[in-house]
Amino acid sequence: MLNVTGLFTEYVSDKGVVVQAAKDVTFEVPKGKLFTLLGPSGCGKTTTLRSIAGLEKPSQGLIEVNGKAVYSSVKGVFTPPNKRGFGMVFQSYAIWPHMTVFQNASFPMEVGQKKFTTAEIKERVMRVLESVELAQYHDRDATRLSGGQQQRLALARALVMEPQLLLLDEPLSNLDAKLREKMRFELKKIQRELDITTIYVTHDQSEALALSHEIAVMSAGRIVQRGTPREIYEKPKNNFVADFVGAINFIDATVKDIDAQHQRMVMDSEVGLIQLPIQEAFKVGDTVQVCVRPENVHLSDTPPSEDNMNSYVGTVDQKIFLGEVLDFQVKIREKLILARVHPTQLTPVGHPIHVYFDPRGCVVFKAE
């Protein structure tokens, strides 16, 4: 449905320096899917979204929607944003304070190039307000809505023109944590039910994991990894992705032995010997980092029933109670390891504890 190929977008900073915000960005989004551009501030994700919207003019590349170019540097095509037929919701909802909920949602139909009858406007607006659960507030002043309701109204206003593509730029960032979590479910439900192709921009990893069919992680203007939420989280391709998406332990190690026959390798690390399946072409002597998520670090007050190379004895350094989970900081030798476990683990601070790394949850990278 959406095809972005070799996109380069640059701008001139306040100091007159040319900044390349998007560098060779390429991806495809099938119809009806939600695709997220994820990354820290300044990584180029919003510039990429604005380029798709037509609010920024790229210097090079191709943007196609349903096989039709809305931007092509080769063919000299640049379709203005108001002719692209996309819906967009910004970080600030830009709700008209002097209008009712209905008037806010109907505004694009009343000022657009295509003319609609009063009956057509009423039918479509009420249908969209129904889908975002705001129909009962249609005659209420928009300023009397809660933050979450205003977010849904902004979404309704973008949907009322039945856009072929919906662009969302950090739409939940102004909401408090609890409401943001609730709106994730609502946004996901609306997007799936309406089957609308969506590009979502966020720096919030949990938001991206919760909403997306596919995620592109960006850094310094480039896409560094694309994949499903599970692939991005469980199989990061480099240290940046591993560190940016969720909490993780980085353990310095050196490859000590490789058993090609059994596809195993042994590493001498900061915490002791680690044995894992071979994950890429390493050789003995390589300096590597073993990455393990906190939930794949298992704790026990009793030693394992059998000798296991990924078992260690540490000391509880700190504990943080988070309700449904308990974060332990355990010192093994001089290395602090974060473990996320069930709150029933009651080992006191300063006491010894047995630690086990689940090899299925460990990823190994060559040291950078």
N-terminal to C-terminal alpha carbon distance within the chain? 37
Strand partners, 249: 292
- Is pLDDT of 156 > 80? yes
Q: Which CATH class is domain 249-366?
A: mainly beta
pLDDT of residue 190: 86
Q: Is 195 left (phi over 0), alpha (psi -120 to 50) or beta?
A: left
Strand partners, 12: 18
- Is pLDDT of 194 > 90? no
Query: Residue-wise over 61-71: b if at least 16 C-beta within 10 A, else e?
Result: bbbbbeeeebb
Indicate the CATH number for domain 2-244: 3.40.50.300
- Is pLDDT of 206 > 80? yes
Residue type, 107: F
Mean pLDDT computed over 135-162: 89
pLDDT of residue 119: 93
Which has more confidence, 41 or 91?
41
pLDDT in tens, 226-272: 999 999 999 999 999 999 999 999 999 999 999 888 889 999 999 99
Please give the Cα distance from 184 to 211 (Å, whole number).
Answer: 7
Q: What is the DSSP string of 56-99?
A: S--SEEEEEETTEEEEETTTTEE--GGGT-EEEE-SS----TTS
pLDDT in tens, 99-127: 999 999 999 888 877 888 999 999 999 98
pLDDT of residue 307: 65
Looking at every residue in the chain, the average pLDDT score rounds to: 92
In the structure, what pLDDT confidence band is assigned to residue 304 with cuts at 50, 70 and 90?
A: confident
- Counted residue by residue, the chain has a size of 368
Q: Is 24 left (phi over 0), alpha (psi -120 to 50) or beta?
A: left
Residue 15 carries which DSSP code? T
What string of H, E and C letters represents the secondary structure of 189-251?
A: HHHHHHCCCEEEEECCHHHHHHHCCEEEEEECCEEEEEECHHHHHHCCCCHHHHHHCCCCEEE
CA distances from 121 to 85, 129, 162 (A): 17, 12, 12
CA distances from 148 to 172, 177, 300 (A): 9, 11, 43
- Is pLDDT of 315 > 70? yes
In the structure, what pLDDT confidence band is assigned to residue 33 with cuts at 50, 70 and 90?
A: very high
Which has more confidence, 22 or 305?
22
Q: Which residue has the tokens 């026990």?
A: 300
- Residues 6 or more apart whose Cβ sits within 8 Å of residue 17: none
Q: Could you tell me which of 205, 184, 202 has the C-alpha nearest to residue 46?
A: 202
pLDDT of residue 325: 95
pLDDT of residue 90: 82
Which structure tokens are listed for 96? 């008209």
| Whole-structure pTM value | 0.90
The CA dihedral of 134, 136, 140, 145, to the nearest 10 degrees, is -40
Please give the Cα distance from 362 to 368 (Å, whole number).
Answer: 17
How remote is the C-alpha of 126 from its chain's centroid? 32
- Residues 6 or more apart whose Cβ sits within 8 Å of residue 218: 25, 37, 38, 39, 43, 44, 45, 48, 224
In the structure, what pLDDT confidence band is assigned to residue 331 with cuts at 50, 70 and 90?
A: very high
Domain layout of the chain by residue ranges: 2-244, 249-366
Q: Could you tell me which of 186, 178, 364, 184 has the C-alpha nearest to residue 283?
A: 364
pLDDT of residue 111: 82
In the structure, what pLDDT confidence band is assigned to residue 280 with cuts at 50, 70 and 90?
A: confident
